[in-house]
C-alpha cells in the first residue's frame, strides 16, 4: 500500500540530511509502527507521504499513486494526523467534523451519519455540542483522529498520536486503533515509546538518523536477539560457586559466566532446548538450584541494543549499509 524507495530529504540547502536513502514497504491492511529517537526523521517521512513536503530525491507512493505528481489522489486515500495541530476556536466538535467533511467533499446527506458514527468511535458523542477549544488534550487528540477519518480513508498516517496522553487515555486510544485495524485500514503510526506499539503493530521499523536500521514483524524483531540468552542462576547457600562456574564454562553453548551478588549470570547462545540442557546437567551433578530463569529481553532493550550497535558500527567503520 505504501512504498518508499531511496527517499532522501535535505533541509537547509543540503546541510542537514533528514532522510537518507530510505526504503520502506507497508502492506495493505497492516499496522506499521514507526519508532525512532527525536530527530530521526519520522515526521519528515510522514509529511512527505501526506504530500505536505516534497522530497529532495527518491520515490514514494501510496496505493500506486505518486505522492508528488498525484497529490490529489493520494490525499483522497489518506487520513493524516500531524504531531501538532490546532482547532478552530469558534466551532463545536460536531461543526468541526462537519467542516472537514465538507472540505473532503463528503456528501451532505451522509455527513450527519458519518460524523455521529465517528464521534461514537472516539467516544466523544456526549461532547458533540462543546466548543473544541474547551476539550482536553486527550479529547482533542481523539477528535483529531476522528477528523482524519471523515472521508473514510484506506490509509491512516498518524504522527505520534498518543503523545501527551495520560496512561488511561493511551489505552483508550489504542483500543480505537485496534478497532480501526479490524476494519482493515492500513495504519502507519509513529512513537518514541515501543511498548505502546508492540501489541498493536504487525510490523515495526526502527529509524535513526534518517535511516531505517531495523524492520520486520514485531515478534521476529523481538525474537531475533533471543538466540543469545541471558540466564540467572541462584544456588542454595552452601554450594561451591567456583565448581559450578567451571562446570558451566565447560558447556559449549555457554559464552561467559559472571558472579553477580548472590547469583550467577550466564550468557549463552542457543534455543530453549539447550537452555534446558544446562539445567539438566547441573541437576544430574546434584547441584541444588533455587532459581534458574531467563532474563526477559523486552522490546525496549531491543531498541536500545539495535540503536547502540548501529552507533558503534558508525564510529568504527563509517559503514553505510542498512541492517
Partner 1 sequence: MSIRMKRFKDWLLNPVLVKELQRRIQSRKTPIILFAYLIVLGVFVFSFFSTFDTQSDHFDADNSIGLFLFLSALQLMTAAFVLPGLTSSMISGEREKQTLYILLTTNLDSKQIVIGKWMASLSFMLMLFICSLPFYVMVYGFGGITTWHLILVVFHLFSTMLFYSSLGIFFSAWIKRTGVATTISYLAVFFHGIGIAVVGYFAFVVGSFFTQNLMHGNQIPLVFELLMAIHPVTSLLDIFHFMGDFDTKIGGYIPFYLFYILFYFITSFALLIAASYMMMPHRFQWRRREEKK
Ligand X SMILES: Nc1ncnc2c1ncn2[C@@H]1O[C@H](COP(=O)(O)OP(=O)(O)OP(=O)(O)O)[C@@H](O)[C@H]1O
By CB under 6 A, tell whether 52 contacts ligand X. no
Residues 53-112 that bind Mg ion (CB under 5 A): 83
Cβ distance to ligand X smaller for residue 61 or 208: 208
Residues 26-45 that bind ligand X (CB under 6 A): 36, 38-44
Q: Print the binding letters for residues 171-210 with partner 1: x by CB under 8 A, - otherwise.
A: ----------------------------------------
Which of residues 147, 170, 181, 185 is near partner 1 by CB under 8 A?
147
Q: Print the binding letters for residues 30-49 with partner 1: x by CB under 8 A, - otherwise.
A: -------------x------
By CB under 6 A, tell whether 16 contacts ligand X. yes
By CB under 6 A, tell whether 13 contacts ligand X. no
What cell numbers appear for 103 in the block?
472540505
Which of residues 33, 43, 146, 264 is near Mg ion by CB under 5 A?
43
CA distances in angstroms from 136 to 32, 79, 124, 269, listed in the order given = 28, 22, 11, 50
Closest separation between CB of residue 299 and partner 1, Å? Answer: 28
Residues 165-224 that bind ligand X (CB under 6 A): 192
The C-alpha atoms of residue 178 and residue 201 are separated, in whole angstroms, by 9
Nearest CA to 19 out of 40, 49, 46 is that of: 40
By CB under 8 A, tell whether 155 contacts partner 1. no
- DSSP letters, 194-256, are HHHHHTT-SEEEEEETTEEEEEEEHHHHHHGGGGEEEEEEEE-TTS-HHHHHHHHHTSTTEEE
The C-alpha atoms of residue 220 and residue 323 are separated, in whole angstroms, by 14
- Backbone dihedral angles phi then psi of residue 106, each to the nearest 5 degrees: -70, 135
User: Could you write out the three-class secondary structure of 17-66?
Assistant: EEEEEEEEEECCCCEEEEECCCCCCHHHHHHHHCCCCCCCEEEEEECCEE
Q: 14 — alpha (psi -120 to 50), left (phi > 0) or beta?
A: left
Closest separation between CB of residue 282 and ligand X, Å? Answer: 46
Cβ distance to partner 1 smaller for residue 12 or 113: 12
Cβ distance to partner 1 smaller for residue 103 or 110: 103
Only one of the segments 58-66, 96-104, 135-143, 228-236 lies at the binding site for partner 1 (rule: CB under 8 A); that segment is 96-104
Contact (CB, 8 A) for 28 and 186: yes
Residue carrying the nine cell digits 541462584: 234
Closest separation between CB of residue 209 and partner 1, Å? Answer: 17
Residues found in the chain? 323
* Contacts to partner 1 by CB under 8 A: 11, 43, 50-54, 72, 75-76, 78, 80, 82, 84-88, 90, 99-100, 102-105, 147, 151
* Contacts to Mg ion by CB under 5 A: 43, 83
* Contacts to ligand X by CB under 6 A: 11-12, 16, 18, 36, 38-44, 83, 192
Amino acid at each position: 500500500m505504501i512504498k518508499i524507495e531511496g527517499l532522501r530529504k535535505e533541509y537547509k540547502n543540503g546541510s542537514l540530511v533528514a532522510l537518507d536513502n530510505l526504503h520502506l514497504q507497508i502492506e495493505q491492511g497492516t499496522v506499521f509502527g514507526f519508532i525512532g529517537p527525536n530527530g530521526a526523521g519520522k515526521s519528515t517521512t510522514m509529511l512527505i507521504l501526506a504530500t505536505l513536503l516534497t522530497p529532495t530525491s527518491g520515490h514514494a507512493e501510496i496505493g500506486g499513486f505518486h505522492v508528488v505528481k498525484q497529490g490529489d489522489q493520494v490525499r483522497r486515500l489518506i487520513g493524516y494526523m500531524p504531531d501538532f495541530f490546532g482547532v478552530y476556536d469558534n466551532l463545536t466538535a460536531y461543526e468541526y467534523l462537519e467542516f472537514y467533511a465538507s472540505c473532503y467533499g463528503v456528501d451532505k446527506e451522509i455527513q450527519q451519519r458519518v460524523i455521529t458514527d465517528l464521534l461514537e468511535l472516539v467516544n466523544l458523542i456526549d461532547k458533540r455540542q462543546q466548543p473544541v477549544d474547551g476539550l482536553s488534550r486527550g479529547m482533542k487528540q481523539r477528535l483529531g483522529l476522528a477528523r482524519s477519518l471523515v472521508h473514510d480513508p484506506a490509509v491512516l498516517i498518524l504522527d505520534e498520536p498518543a503523545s501527551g496522553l495520560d496512561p488511561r487515555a493511551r489505552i483508550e486510544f489504542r483500543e480505537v486503533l485496534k478497532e480501526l485495524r479490524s476494519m482493515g485500514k492500513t495504519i502507519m503510526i509513529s512513537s518514541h515509546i515501543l511498548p505502546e506499539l508492540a501489541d498493536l503493530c504487525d510490523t515495526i521499523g526502527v529509524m535513526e538518523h534518517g535511516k531505517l536500521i531495523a524492520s520486520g514483524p514485531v515478534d521476529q524483531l523481538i525474537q531475533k536477539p533471543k538466540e543469545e540468552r541471558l540466564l540467572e542462576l541462584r544456588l542454595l547457600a552452601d554450594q561451591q560457586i567456583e565448581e559450578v562456574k567451571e562446570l558451566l564454562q565447560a558447556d559449549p553453548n555457554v559464552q561467559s559466566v559472571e558472579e553477580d551478588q548472590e547469583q550467577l549470570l550466564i550468557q549463552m547462545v542457543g534455543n530453549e532446548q539447550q537452555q534446558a540442557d544446562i539445567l539438566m546437567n547441573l541437576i544430574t551433578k546434584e547441584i541444588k538450584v533455587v532459581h534458574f530463569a531467563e532474563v526477559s529481553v523486552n522490546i525496549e532493550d531491543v531498541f536500545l541494543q539495535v540503536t547502540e550497535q548501529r552507533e558503534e558500527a558508525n564510529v568504527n567503520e563509517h559503514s553505510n549499509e542498512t541492517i
